[in-house]
Chains A and B, each alone.
Chain A
Amino acid sequence: MKTIKLDKNPLKLVKDVLNDLKASPDLGIYKCVQCGMCASICPGASQTEYDPRDMIRRVLENDETIIDDETIWDCFSCYTCNSICPSGNNASEVNQILRQMSIEKGEGAQKIKDFCAYGDSFMEMGIGSIPNEFFNVMVKDVGNKYMDLKVNIEDIRTDLGLGNYILPKESTDEIEAILDNSGFKVRLEKIKRCKK
């Protein structure tokens, strides 16, 4: 049996989520009526154990184990739940805030470790490019033409009359400085260091 303890701060988790930098000013968690409309059309919910309605319920019930619950990583960020919610709530936004909380705590960092290469490419070239580690997946999904595109990118761009996509050094230096000063670099390193 679960006990609702005489707690000083029974709504701590909702408040933390609402106070998060990412939370929109009108994020309507409190208004959720648990109708399940979001879950009814959520691709994550139809294919996995993720349930946006239940995630909201756990936030409202101050169940902090939701932060490290594996299922929150099964959201596709498609925002369908947001567009359908009749109560002005936004499950996808809550999901993203919970993920950030999980990353801060450490547990979630490993979930995004593989994506650090995106960060590196930003730091080096000032653009996001698909890391080499994902080439095999991309070929599997898109087919061989993906490799063709990768290899012949310069020619294809010339044919299309597009300019050089490599940024000049002063630009990349500037971007790196921004990413450094904004704390992005430190965060990236921290995530890289986490254990799988």
Chain B
Amino acid sequence: MSKAQLNKNKSNLKIGVFLCRCGGNISDIIDMEKLRLSVKAEVIEEFENLCSINGRKIIRDNIIKKNLDRVVVAACSPITHEKTFQNYVSPLNPYLLEMANIREQCSWVNPDNITATEKAISIVNAAIEKVKYSQPLVPILRKTPNTAAVIGGGISGISASLSLARQGIETYLIEKEPTIGGSMVKVGKLFSPEKLAEECAMCLLNPLVNEAVQNKNINIITNTTLKSAERRAGNFNLLIENKARKVITDRCISCGNCAEVCPVEVKDSWNEGMTIRKAIYKPFSQAVPDVYTIDPENCKKCGKCQDVCRMDAIDLTMEDEIIPMTVGSVVIATGHKTFDMNKRPEYSYGRHKDILTQMELARVMGVNGPTKGELLKPSDGKVPQRVVMIQCVGSRDEKPGGRKYCSKVCCMVAIKHANVIKQHYPDTDVIIGYTDMRTPGMYEKYFKYAQSNEVRLIRGRPGEIEEKDGIFIVRLEDTLSKEPLEIETDLVVLSTAMEPSEGTVDVSNILDVGLTEELFVKEKHSKIKPVATEVEGIYVCGTAQGPKDITDSIVQANAASAKVSELINGGVELEPFVANIDNSKCNLCKKCIDVCKYKAAFIQDNMLSVDPVACVGCGACLWECENNAIEIIGQTDEQILSMITGMLKDKKPDETRIIAFLDSVGYVSADNIGINKINVPSSIRIIKIPSMNRIMPKHLLHAFNMGADGIIMGEYPYNPMYSKTKEKVNGLKQELIKNNINPDRLAFYKVYIPYFRGLANKFNKFNNQIIELGKIGSKIDS
């Protein structure tokens, strides 16, 4: 039925109103007789327990016998039983039911039966008025294509891809380096707190990498970065840029002849710059894909490699390529980088070869590293007599450029390296200078193990490292003995902070997902939605989201892929209360697109569309649209205005009435007031609105015209559109002033579910304030 038809027939609609006594919960306070006589409808029935099977029969029989078009159930809160009654109204469309909450928000908060009955009448009237404009709707069925892009090929990205692929999802694993593996391939050893032993990282990672290569659902795309992204109705259209490898992957047999003849030598980042590689190289022997790559920044195009390559695999003219792809979901797994030591000159890093970071030490001790696994000082190739490790370098640091957070893994990394050193070089003294040793859970066992391995711990954070006659002096205070100390040593290792990688920031900007203050990817909710981002369909895992170890990264990767799979397989039904566009009015000004933080609106084929999965129906776009081209289904202007009318139409001259627009959180909070039997002023009339962004001047003016003396707006502050709402309230107040209404008649509050007492207090205070201001239209308003 079209909207025009609905409106035309509005007066002829047959509406059934069913009143529930709720075993006295309602009928002990509310005068049911009076309520029944005060409402106008085709059918008015009253029953003890409408939610019972007998109640269902009464409702259904009436619908069928009396041919009802709409139903109002005046009973408990819709939060409690809306789903039940939506079932009970079948064969009517479930969205043609409206509930009037006369229990939680009326009989339970209003002990006086005269005012409670008056309130109940207006609540039922509001529901009747609203239901006249209700349309039959079908829930939105979410359908997401069976494809995903995982950006970043470290342990998180590999784990996420494997999990997706095993669930049958076609996955593109995009890595900017020539090989996948990320930081994990560099760290050499992993420690196991259970076994109190160190294991070979590469040996654990290799089977996963091999599986990724072999799994037909995974497409590994290396040397590639994300260039742009657009969201289209549950899809993401991505453009990725593949940097020319200049080696034909299918032909290269990885013999390495080319690298032998290449004259260009550059620092090898795989060994943290401690060794040299050529301009044509393979990062490490087990690299995947197992081919050589030319680094275009350093290649001189001399052609020597081409001359020796027997497979004719080298093509120096190969060009970068932009590849478009469409996927249903995106997983960000772009990882981290380590702290830039130039910011902390007091530790002399970079001025002395024997001051290393933990990652460099990992390479030194890696069997495939510069010293083939021997602990030798870079300066002279000798085994150090002592190693001093400094914790929290750049972490827990409020100085400029520092990171305020704890990097979470460095204590364990230091202990791991200390243990490895003590096992192989028992004569090397190892001292860790720390502020707090953070080894939660099982890691504490590994910490104890380090103590028994004679690793020494001194509680103090070093302020500087100085070199004197060829040895280092590390200055710190032994804070437990209150003694300033100078520790002599010949090797220093810095436990540097984990920072968000450039890739993390770039990719987030391209995908338009929010970042934290520290520039990690922001989760939708840090406690209960730890892998979702603010954009539906984009998930995050690993160190792109914050410092964490390998175990946690894998856990999060699996969680992210489970979320992708939920989207694909769940077929979740969503309430259809979303924005609806009238394209004949829309002039494509894009203002709605700019305002929507959920990125729900977009233009496709010269038409504005709204992704019903992403849209939350907040209504912020309605304000922006100068052409009235947008409406929110279930919250149309007619519906809001008619609810206001219903709440106020029988207001008596001596009565005070306050309309309280509450969002869903505020509405639950108001129910909680009732459940806890806290009294609220009889003037309060609650109308549920998904977001205060939906409220426009015309709604407020209509309410004041109909006799409201005051209006409350209540919104939960932790939603992406909240900042917008706050701005808006000022605009609304200005509108009131223009219309000679005292702006103090409008109040805006933050609401929280558990803070219902606070909300009840606000109702009381505002009520008193309005009584003091006097009736609407009094002197104070002109």
Name A's B-contacting residues (CB within 8 A): 28, 31, 33-42, 45-46, 51, 53-54, 83-88
Contact = CB atoms under 8 A, between A and B. Distances in A.
A46 B399 contact: no
A37 B484 CA distance: 10
Interface of B is mostly: loop
Given A35-B392, A40-B477, 7 more contacts: A35-B460, A37-B477, A40-B462, A51-B484, A53-B477, A54-B482, A84-B346
Contacts of B346: 41, 84
B396 interface: yes
Given A51-B477, A86-B396, A88-B398, A37 B482 contact: no
Max chain A C-beta neighbours (<10 A), residue from B398, B459, B464: B398
Nearest to B393: A86
18 contacts: A28-B398, A31-B398, A33-B435, A36-B459, A36-B477, A36-B479, A39-B460, A39-B479, A40-B461, A40-B464, A40-B475, A40-B476, A40-B484, A41-B463, A45-B477, A51-B482, A85-B399, A86-B396
A65 B472 CA distance: 38
Contacts of B476: 36-37, 40
Contact of A46 (B392, B396, B436, B484): B484
Contact of B479 (A34, A41, A46, A86): A34
A33 to B, nearest CB: 6
A83 B464 CA distance: 12
Contacts of B461: 35-37, 40, 86
Contact of B464 (A41, A85, A86, A88): A41
A86 B435 CA distance: 11
Interface residues of B, number: 23
Interface string B533-571: 000000000000000000000000000000000000000
Nearest to B394: A86
A28 B398 CA distance: 11
B366 to A, nearest CB: 31
A86 B460 contact: no
Interface of B: 346, 392, 396-399, 402, 435-436, 459-464, 475-479, 482, 484-485
A37 B462 contact: yes
Contact of A39 (B392, B436, B477): B477
A88 B462 CA distance: 16
A75 to B, nearest CB: 14
Nearest to A28: B398
Contacts of A38: 463
A116 B397 CA distance: 41
A86 B482 contact: no
B433 to A, nearest CB: 9
Nearest to A36: B477
Nearest to A44: B484
Nearest to B392: A86
Nearest to A84: B463
Contacts of A34: 435, 479
Max chain B C-beta neighbours (<10 A), residue from A31, A35, A46, A51: A35
A87 B436 CA distance: 14
B484 to A, nearest CB: 5
A89 to B, nearest CB: 9
Contacts of B462: 37, 40
B414 to A, nearest CB: 16
